[in-house]
Structure 1
Amino acid sequence: MNDTSSALNKPLIFVGPPRSGVTFISDLIFHHRDLCWLDKNFEKHPRSDWQHRLFHYASGWRNHAAQSSSLLGSLAKEFSPVPSEAISFWDESTRDDIDFDRGFLRGKHATPMEITTIKDVLAKRLILSQKAQLGLRFTGPARLCFLHSIFPDAKFVNIVRDPASTVHSMISTEEWEYLGRHLLWWRGAYSLQELAQYDMLRDHAVAGTAFQLNKLMQTTKQEVQELDLDLITINYEDFVKQPQDAVSQILSHAGLPASKTIDVALKQNEIRGSNKVLKMPATDINTVYTWCPAH
């Protein structure tokens, strides 16, 4: 492969709220031998040809680690790369008003210069790592308008989960305590009325978190309706019940063949679907569905 203009055809892009299964499901799919994805090394050195070439072997170590219970497999797992959203790369490659960390990017489009810059780096990674297709992941706001302006032929996968389970999982993490438990974490899509509504909820962790989750899901739904996207939605609960069916659906959507390495990773990973709703007080469950009805 040596044509950078066609190297990025039909990338596979996962989106979805945090704690909804986006990371887990995309990490499984990224075991596919044909997929190139971003990791911490890319985030630190996105323009390093050596790092791109090394990824070809490092991703192979990761697949070997998933298949082996030997000492060598354990070592491979210890030193193999882990998929990353590489947010710093996207922030550094875009203008000041594009906030990939906390912004919804509602109605935002990439400039021709941004498209060229981003595609040049990602195409080189794809070519030098000897992979056939790019895979990306973004949690939080889906940023579909901006991403679609860069990759108009992208294959999107939207991962969603029951709102009560998602909210319970979010407020149970230490990270959320310092992010959005008592403030609006994601920015740029709220009306004045919504901001006033949140002011009344900011001291109630469950209601405030559900309010923010609802905005994530609502904005994604609006962008899907506005844009001509090639997108499928996977419910995490359905994935837990029939993981192989969900994997097959994603691979078919992406135009990828079945993968033995993904099958092995599925067997090696514990697919858990603990019903977080059952662990919440009934009043909290009602609060979640009041502020975040199932979409």
Structure 2
Amino acid sequence: MSNFLLKHKHLIEKPIIIFGTGRSGTTVISDIIFRHEDLAWHSNYQELLPKSAAINYLRRVFDNSMWHIIGMNTQNNKSLINQLYFRPIERYDFWEAITGPRIDFSRGFLLNERATEEEANRMRIHFAKMVKYQNRKRLAFKLTGPARMEYLSSIFPDAVFVQINREPVSTVRSWLEIHWSNQITDQLWWTGAYSDAELAEAKSLSHDQALFAAYQYKKIMEATAYETKKLHANVYAANYEDFVKQPRQFIADMMQAVGLASSKFVDDFMDKISVQNRNNRAAASAKTEMSEETKKRILEIVNG
């Protein structure tokens, strides 16, 4: 273990890892939680220089004792000025750089995969520097798709996982509006967890984008359940639907569960944003309008 890590290993104790299937509410929820003054996180500037830990010093320019200027994830605020702020982000150039060529972090389920000790120590040093250079006390980040829980636990054995779930029909529709309509035809987005029989079943559904997406949603949920059981992982599971009903209570409960004290910055941010139940909105286009039969089939696939 490096001298730096020996001195600063407390900075990566009990990191908060927020994850969900994607389009499940993780972005808006993490945007709120990441306002907490104790937390360091992966930023847009880290993504520009994936291998640089020193880039994290830049947060001190935007967020210090005189002012607190933190941007939002671009899915929530796409303004030009927001692009320039130091802000949390979920992209994967950084993860691919830090995990190394052996791991397909962005597209792999990483079931039964663990970091080597050399890999784990390299990543622990980088993340400890991230927290220190941002002048914070604790690490947090959010991911979507597979939980990658065993792999992450091999790096952070005491990680606190937060799983955000959303009703499957709304999730699948949102996937189609954002991802599958342009990027996916009959190719599975994440790999490394399907049996031959499952691959054949997925192929049989690939003619229908909604059903094909539902099958992948199902696999993510099954893989997460498998990892949670295998690892006896510390997972706080919460539902997007509960968040939109009572956002303040939801955030208060979540912060208590992960060991965060109340925060004026979190409260102030919640005063500024509007939380809406996007499950109830109309489809973005006729292309993603779903018939009742399709909705029924999605639920049959997910629950089957």
Task: Compute the TM-score of the two structures, normalised by the length of structure 1.
Answer: 0.89
Where does 1:150-165 land on structure 2 (aligned, <5 Å)?
150-165=155-170
The 8 Å contact of residues 165 and 277 in structure 1, kept in 2 or not, is answered as no
Distance 1:171 1:78, change over 3 A: closer
Partner in structure 2 of residue 107 of structure 1: 112
**Residues 92 and 64 of structure 1: CA distance in aligned 2, closer, same or farther (over 3 Å):** closer
The more displaced of 116-125 and 46-55 is: 46-55
CA contact under 8 A between 2:16 and 2:159: conserved in structure 1? yes
Distance 2:150 2:91 in 1: 19
Q: State the distance in 1 between where 2:247 and 2:173 align.
A: 23
- Match for 1:249: what amino acid? D
Partner of 1:182: 186
How far the C-alpha of 1:125 sits from its partner, in A, is: 1.5
1:53 to 44, 49, 57: 57
Percent of pairs identical after alignment? 34
Paired amino acid for 2:164: I
Matched, 1:260 2:264: yes
Mapped contact 2:51–2:97 kept (Cα < 8 A): no
Does 2:179 match 1:169?
no
Matches within 5 A, 1:219-230: 219-230=223-234
Measured in 2, the distance between the counterparts of 1:80 and 1:289 equals: 41
Task: Answer yes or no: is the 8 Å Cα contact 1:156–1:232 preserved in 2.
Answer: yes
- Residue 78 of structure 1: how far off its partner (Å): 5.6
What's the CA shift for 1:230?
Answer: 1.4
Deviation at 1:96, TM superposition (A): 3.2
The amino acid that maps onto 1:166 is: T
Q: What residue number does 1:290 align with?
A: 300
Q: How many residues align?
A: 286
The counterpart of 2:123, out of the listed 118, 125, 131, is: 118
| Distance in structure 2 (CA, Å) of the matches to 1:226 and 1:62 | 44
CA contact (8 A) 1:206 1:287 kept: no
CA distance in 2, matches of 1:112, 1:90: 17
Query: Distance between the aligned counterparts of 2:68 and 2:167, measured in 1?
Result: 31
Q: 1:118 and 1:259 mapped to 2: Cα distance? A: 29
Residues of 1 paired with 2:91 and 2:282: CA distance?
35
Q: What amino acid is aligned across from residue 140 of structure 1 in structure 2?
A: G
Q: CA deviation at 1:4?
A: 2.0
Is 1:243 matched up with 2:247?
A: yes
Partner of 1:216: 220
**Equivalent position amino acid for 2:125 in 1:** D
Deviation string 1:162-205 (CA, Å, 9 cap, x unpaired) is 000101111122x3223335321110000000000011111101
Measure how far apart 1:59 and its partner are. 4.3
The 5-angstrom pairing of residues 20-39 of structure 1 reads 20-39=24-43
The separation in 2 between residues aligned to 1:181 and 1:293, in whole angstroms, is: 24
Amino acid aligned to 1:248: A
Give the distance between the partners of 1:263 and 1:130, measured in 2 at CA.
Answer: 21
Which runs of no fewer than 5 residues in structure 2 stay unpaired? 72-78, 284-289
- C-alpha distance in structure 2 between counterparts of 1:212 and 1:226, whole Å: 21
Gap change, CA 1:226 and 1:277, over 3 Å in 2: farther
* CA deviation string 1:12-38 (max 9, x = no partner): 100110110111111111011110001
Q: Is the 8 A contact 2:168 2:302 kept in 1?
A: yes
Unaligned runs of 5+ residues in structure 1 are: 67-73
C-alpha contact 1:65 1:76 (8 A) present in aligned 2: no
Cα distance in 1 between the residues matched to 2:296 and 2:36: 40
The answer on whether the counterparts of 1:169 and 1:276 sit within 8 Å (CA) in structure 2 is: no
- Residue number among 281, 284, 293 corresponding to 2:291 in the alignment: 281
1:40 aligns with 2:50: no
